[in-house]
A and B are shown apart, each in its own frame.
Chain A
Amino acid sequence: MSIVLFKAILVVLIFLISLGIAAYSTYGERKIAAFLQDRIGPDRAGPFGLLQPIADGVKMFLKEEIIPTVSDKLLFIAGPSMFMLTALMTSAVIPWGLPLEFGGTVYALQVADINIGILYIMGVVSLGVYGIMIGGWASNNKFALLGAIRASSQMISYELAMGMSVIAVLLMTNGSLSLNNIVQSQGEGKLYGFINISGMNWNIFYQPVAFIIFLVCSFAETNRTPFDLPESESELIGGFHTEYSSMKLGLYLFGEYINMFISSAVISCLFLGGYNFPGIEYLGTVLPHNIVSLISVAALFGKIFFFIFFFMWVRWTIPRFRYDQLMRLGWQILMPLAIINVLITGGILTFFGN
């Protein structure tokens, strides 16, 4: 099997997994919301309501497609398409597991190991705002426009703190921007230099502040509660997707879940060791290489599922911020905190070595 064919299969596989996880995130969200509010949640379609996402999808496709006559038709359609496109693009640089080996050839479980991986993610995330802005403006509706403007200013504000918190992590990995190197460096060496558990040298133990800043910023970037002001239904009806119906609305809702999945993957790779898990070296000596690879993929997905659960847990626990509180948190608390964190990390690395 040639590398190109393998990459093509990997791309399709990741695409399908992203869509599958996004679909079942909607089910998970409703079940978790029901659990937190002492309800049962969806249980009619199939056993435990497991077919609910399919029923929802069919409903979305069959609903009437409405395009407002006063809207800009081309951009009205381009908005949700771009949102979905940028949501799906990020997954290209994430290392999903240890490389597989078939007949002496090594197949890396990563679509593209570019040496600017983390910057690529920041770039695509910063483009994500266009889908919302174009859709909100093209609707020709005041509520949609307000939602779009809130979304864009919120995303620009939190991107800065996000980038700053990533810089502190990059300082730890000798300045390599490749996600693969960042994940690998967390699997080597001893935690704090003396705790000898293989595959446990995670960045979260060195950079807890950066982790918290990054986590908060990814909530803001994915427009999730407590930062879902672009679509706050109590003030803006539905925000940027007020005018949308049918599958175009579905794409917006779906894209949000894919964003959630991808940002969970990025958080896991940057701070929780990616596909590394405790005891990875020991397992490598007793099990065949490919089995260990599959276990490492499972470990990464375990971390991703935890973060998706965390996103939902927060959504049904914490109320929405007010807009001035959101801006104050971003600019006056997270941003200085991230800069101080970079300075302290740099100082420690310069004066005390590793």
Chain B
Amino acid sequence: MSSQIVFYMLAALSVLSALFVVFSKSPIYSVLWLIVCFFSIAGHYVMLNAQFLAIVHIIVYAGAIMVLMLFTVMLLNLNKETEPHKPAMLKGAAIVTGGLLMLVLLAAMRSVQPAPYVAPEKADVGFVQNVGMKLFTDFLLPFEMTSVLFIAAMIGAVVLAKKEVHE
């Protein structure tokens, strides 16, 4: 029962903070609300006995990615006056793509069967040993493919950031 109360509180926090991300006027506040949102999602992971995933989520997202995002937003010096007005065609394209995304999400939501929460059989299912075992046996190929993808992204970033020496 008490875990249900915690779940509802976390769920409310996730949804509210996600809404604040969208509706905040200052981009800095948006980033900060997104951090709060990530924390509440980490809380959900803990509720599902996935402590390792929860802490890695916090280290990677709240600790590294959001810091870089905050970093960028702080340097942008966003003011009302400097905000560029986008052409009407761009706005129209944004509406169409947003609508399409919503359609896909709605279609996906329709086939969801609501089921009661079932506690995992083993309490240590989310411990680092078990996650590691799964990653390096059953999910080895996807895991390695992800790292290849990351290397491609890193090389791309280096190429983009490198100084042109020849010209």
Return the CB mask of B25-67 against A: 1 if under 8 Å, else 0.
0101000100100000000000000011001101100111001
Q: Pick the contact of A137 from B28, B59, B67 — CB < 8 Å?
A: B28
A127 touches B74 (CB 8 A): no
B70: chain A residues within 8 A (beta carbon): 130, 133, 137, 152
CB distance from A148 to the nearest CB of B (A): 7
A159 to B64, CA, bound (A): 9
A152 touches B67 (CB 8 A): yes
A11 at the A/B interface (Cβ < 8 Å)? no
A134 to B32, CA, bound (A): 9
B135 at the A/B interface (Cβ < 8 Å)? no
Interface range on chain A: under 10, 10 to 19, 20 to 34, or 35 or more?
A: 20 to 34
A148 touches B74 (CB 8 A): yes
A185 to B52, CA, bound (A): 22
B68 touches A156 (CB 8 A): yes
Interface range on chain B: under 10, 10 to 19, 20 to 34, or 35 or more?
A: 20 to 34
B23 at the A/B interface (Cβ < 8 Å)? no
CB distance from B125 to the nearest CB of A (A): 12
- Report if A153-B71 is in contact (Cβ < 8 Å); known contacts: A114-B51, A127-B58: yes
A175 to B71, CA, bound (A): 34
B146 at the A/B interface (Cβ < 8 Å)? no
- Report if A177-B128 is in contact (Cβ < 8 Å); known contacts: A116-B55, A156-B68: yes
A123: chain B residues within 8 A (beta carbon): 55, 58-59, 62-63
* A126-178 contacts to B (CB < 8 Å): 126-127, 129-130, 133-134, 137, 145, 148-149, 152-153, 155-156, 159, 175, 177
B105: chain A residues within 8 A (beta carbon): none
CB distance from A139 to the nearest CB of B (A): 11
* B67-111 contacts to A (CB < 8 Å): 67-68, 70-71, 74-75
A122 at the A/B interface (Cβ < 8 Å)? yes
Q: Pick the contact of A152 from B58, B59, B71, B129 — CB < 8 Å?
A: B71
Q: Pick the contact of B67 from A75, A115, A133 — CB < 8 Å?
A: A133
B26: chain A residues within 8 A (beta carbon): 72
A119 at the A/B interface (Cβ < 8 Å)? yes
A177 to B55, CA, bound (A): 12
B127 at the A/B interface (Cβ < 8 Å)? yes
A133 to B67, CA, bound (A): 9
Q: Report the nearest B residue to A119, measured CB to CB.
A: B55
A140 to B127, CA, bound (A): 44
B51 touches A116 (CB 8 A): yes
* B1-45 contacts to A (CB < 8 Å): 26, 28, 32, 35
B51 touches A115 (CB 8 A): yes
A209 to B95, CA, bound (A): 55
* A163-201 contacts to B (CB < 8 Å): 175, 177
B127: chain A residues within 8 A (beta carbon): 115
Q: Report the nearest B residue to A155, measured CB to CB.
A: B67
A130 to B91, CA, bound (A): 34
A175 touches B129 (CB 8 A): yes
Q: Report the nearest A residue to B77, measured CB to CB.
A: A145
A120 at the A/B interface (Cβ < 8 Å)? yes
A127 to B62, CA, bound (A): 7
A137 touches B63 (CB 8 A): no
A155 to B70, CA, bound (A): 14
- Report if A120-B63 is in contact (Cβ < 8 Å); known contacts: A137-B28, A149-B74, A156-B68: no
A343 to B74, CA, bound (A): 38
A36 to B7, CA, bound (A): 56
A127: chain B residues within 8 A (beta carbon): 58, 62-63
A149 touches B75 (CB 8 A): yes
Q: Report the nearest B residue to A134, measured CB to CB.
A: B32
A129: chain B residues within 8 A (beta carbon): 63, 67
Q: Report the nearest B residue to A153, measured CB to CB.
A: B71
A133 to B63, CA, bound (A): 12
Interface residues of B (CB under 8 A from A): 26, 28, 32, 35, 51-52, 55-56, 58-59, 62-64, 67-68, 70-71, 74-75, 127-129, 132
List the 7 closest pairs (A to B, CB-CB), nearest first.
A126-B63, A119-B55, A123-B58, A123-B59, A137-B74, A123-B55, A116-B55
Chain A to chain B contacts (Cβ below 8 Å), 25 pairs: A75-B28, A75-B32, A114-B51, A115-B51, A116-B52, A119-B128, A122-B63, A123-B63, A126-B59, A127-B58, A127-B63, A129-B63, A130-B35, A133-B70, A133-B71, A133-B74, A134-B32, A137-B70, A145-B74, A149-B71, A149-B75, A156-B64, A156-B68, A175-B128, A175-B132
Apart from A119-B128, A137-B74, 7 more pairs, CB < 8 Å:
A126-B59, A133-B67, A137-B28, A145-B74, A149-B75, A153-B71, A156-B68
Interface residues of A (CB under 8 A from B): 72, 75, 114-116, 119-120, 122-123, 126-127, 129-130, 133-134, 137, 145, 148-149, 152-153, 155-156, 159, 175, 177
